Amino acid sequence: AQTVTQSQPEMSVQEAETVTLSCTYDTSESDYYLFWYKQPPSRQMILVIRQEAYKQQNATENRFSVNFQKAAKSFSLKISDSQLGDAAMYFCAYRSAGIIQGAQKLVFGQGTRLTINP
Amino acid sequence: DGGITQSPKYLFRKEGQNVTLSCEQNLNHDAMYWYRQDPGQGLRLIYYSQIVNDFQKGDIAEGYSVSREKKESFPLTVTSAQKNPTAFYLCASTNRGVSSGANVLTFGAGSRLTVL
Which residues neighbour B57 within 8 Å (Cβ) at sequence distance 6 or greater? Answer: B47
Please tell me the least confidently modeled range out of A54-58, A99-103, B53-57, B108-112. Answer: A99-103
- Residues of B near A (Cβ–Cβ under 8 Å) read 31, 33, 35, 40-45, 48, 50, 56, 58, 88, 90, 92, 94, 96, 98, 100-105, 107, 109-110
For residue A36, pLDDT beyond 50: yes
pLDDT of residue B83: 87
Of the candidates B43, B48, B98, which has its C-beta nearest A108's C-beta?
A: B43
Q: Which residue of A has its CA nearest to B47?
A: A105
More confident residue, A80 or B80: A80
Q: How far is CA B101 from CA A94, A97, A100, B14, in A?
A: 11, 5, 11, 40
CB contact under 8 A, A108 and B44: yes
A49/A66 Cα distance (integer angstroms)? 8
Ramachandran area for residue A25 (φ above 0: left; ψ -120 to 50: alpha; else beta): beta
pLDDT of residue B34: 97
pLDDT of residue B105: 87
Q: How far is CA A69 from CA A8, A40, A59, A104, B9, in A?
A: 18, 27, 12, 22, 39
Let me know if B63 is exposed, middle or buried by CB neighbors in 10 A (0-12, 13-18, 19+): middle
Hey, what long-range contacts does A63-72 have (CB within 8 A, 24 or more apart)? A64/A36, A66/A34, A66/A36, A67/A20, A68/A34, A72/A24
**Alpha carbon A28 to chain centroid, angstroms:** 19
Chain A segment 81-100 residues within 8 A of B by beta carbon are 91, 95-99
Q: Say what the alpha-carbon torsion angle B9, B82, B23, B73 is, to the nearest 10 degrees.
A: -160
CB contact under 8 A, B101 and A97: yes
pLDDT of residue B3: 92
Backbone angles phi, psi at B24, to 5 degrees: -125, 135
How far is the first Cα of chain A from the last one, in angstroms, to the nearest whole number? 41
pLDDT of residue B101: 47
Identify the three-state secondary structure at position B76: strand
Q: How far is CA A16 from CA A9, A41, B72, in A?
A: 22, 21, 42
CB contact under 8 A, B109 and A44: yes
Per-residue pLDDT of chain B (116 residues; tens, 9 = 90+): 679 999 999 999 888 899 999 999 999 988 899 999 998 778 999 999 988 999 999 999 999 999 999 999 999 999 988 889 999 999 999 886 555 445 688 999 999 999 88
Backbone angles phi, psi at A14, to 5 degrees: -75, 145
Q: How far is CA B114 from CA A82, B8, B12, in A?
A: 35, 12, 5
Ramachandran area for residue B72 (φ above 0: left; ψ -120 to 50: alpha; else beta): alpha
